[in-house]
Amino acid sequence: MNQMSMTQEPGGNRRNVLLGAGAAMAATVLSTAPAGAAGTQARNRERQESKESQPQGRFWPNGARLVISVSMQFEAGAQSERNNGAPFPPLAEDVPDLPARTWFDYGVREGIPRMLDLWDRHGVKVTSHMTGQAVERNPALAREIVSRGHEAAAHGQTWTPHWTMTAEQERASYAANIAAVEKATGTRPVGFNAFWLRGTPNTLGVLQQLGFTYHIDDLSSDEPMTTEVNGKPFAIVPYTLRNNDIARYGAEGPLTASAFGQELRDEFDQLYAEAGMRRRMMSISTHDRIGGTPARVKVMGDFLAYANKRPGVAFVRKDQIAQWALSMPNVPRKAY
């Protein structure tokens, strides 16, 4: 280095030394004591990574971290002629609602067959709550649902609101529902879903006497529970209105399929994170004429692929979840 270059910037070397020392000191401080937003983000990231790294299967059998329970309601053909949720203006009582009948018929002609193919593509087994009259009118479809590995559960014999029934009427409705499912599928249902979740004070006792082991008419938890009925344990596999096509889409909107798909992913992400620290279950519900439309099936398929990419995710039928609830330790107990 020549004399000129050394004397052009008097004190230049001193400034460089001081700047270098300051930078080194700052790096040391930052590396040892995160502060402000950066420190908060680092701590949050560490907590999240700690949750994500929890061993699989701490709270569920078979190494599962998060269990997802999917319902496929089979109701088309059992609907009432009036006040049935179809997307049409009301008619006079003496006029048949012909387009509403075709709207429901879509569920058995297109909706359920399309969803059955969807479940097969993603290796998902679901629970189908079947209304008895719908099964009687379409027994081959009920039989196919079961032959493809899905659970046939009960949903009452007709769309008569269960909350209007006496205990004797409830028993007759549920017994007829059992008989219809058994005749068509060769299986006896052990799970039950009341019309719009509304049973009576007699419902659980009637169900237990008829051999049911669980019901789903409860929205109070993101994990299974048990209750005591006539001195015996009875399982609760909670249902959902949040992740439910009939509650979110109504008949034909206004929620879009893509918006529903995003909500499913957001709910999944949150429950998956929580599942590192406690037992978590995600519930999803589809209905034959609503969830079985092309756009909604596409979005559901996108969600299933998204969820299946994460380790420890298990799609499980409700009858299996009920068996686990009755045998696992530390399952919450609930009194109605």
Does one domain contain both 139 and 186?
yes
Q: What is the pLDDT of residue 200?
A: 93
Does one domain contain both 42 and 130?
no
Nearest partner of 123 among 283, 309, 268, judged by Cα = 309
In a domain, 5, yes or no: no
In a domain, 69, yes or no: yes
* Residue position matching structure tokens 């789903």: 216
Round to whole Å and give the CA distance between 72 and 63.
26
Name the 3-class secondary structure at 319: helix
Does one domain contain both 291 and 323?
yes
Does one domain contain both 120 and 26?
no
Query: pLDDT (tens digit, 0 to 9) for every residue of the chain, 336 residues total?
Result: 433 333 333 334 433 433 343 433 333 333 443 445 555 565 555 445 444 444 466 899 999 999 999 999 999 876 766 676 667 667 777 777 777 788 889 999 999 999 999 999 999 999 999 999 999 999 999 999 999 999 999 999 998 888 889 999 999 999 999 999 999 999 999 999 998 899 999 999 999 999 999 999 999 999 999 999 999 999 999 999 999 998 888 767 678 999 999 999 999 999 999 999 999 999 999 999 999 999 999 999 999 999 999 999 999 999 999 999 999 999 999 999
- Number of domains composing the chain: 2
Does one domain contain both 23 and 114?
no
Does one domain contain both 109 and 37?
no
Cβ 300 vs Cβ 118: under 8 Å: yes
In a domain, 6, yes or no: no
Cβ 105 vs Cβ 154: under 8 Å: no
Name the 3-class secondary structure at 125: coil
User: What would the pLDDT profile of 86-121 be if each residue is shown by its tens digit?
Assistant: 676 677 777 777 777 888 899 999 999 999 999 999
Cβ 68 vs Cβ 282: under 8 Å: yes
Does one domain contain both 235 and 286?
yes
We report the CATH number of the domain holding residue 210 as 3.20.20.370
Does one domain contain both 45 and 191?
no
Does one domain contain both 73 and 209?
yes
Does one domain contain both 175 and 38?
no
**Which residues constitute the domain of residue 17?**
13-52
In a domain, 333, yes or no: no
Does one domain contain both 40 and 119?
no
Burial class (CB in 10 A: 0-12, 13-18, 19+), 46: exposed
Cβ 43 vs Cβ 258: under 8 Å: no
In a domain, 8, yes or no: no
Q: What is the pLDDT of residue 85?
A: 67
Does one domain contain both 34 and 90?
no
DSSP state of 244: B
Cβ 85 vs Cβ 251: under 8 Å: yes
- Burial track 287-307 (b if 16+ CB lie within 10 A, e otherwise): bbbbbbbeebbebbbebbeeb
Nearest partner of 283 among 54, 69, 103, 52, judged by Cα = 69
In a domain, 336, yes or no: no
Round to whole Å and give the CA distance between 40 and 86.
51
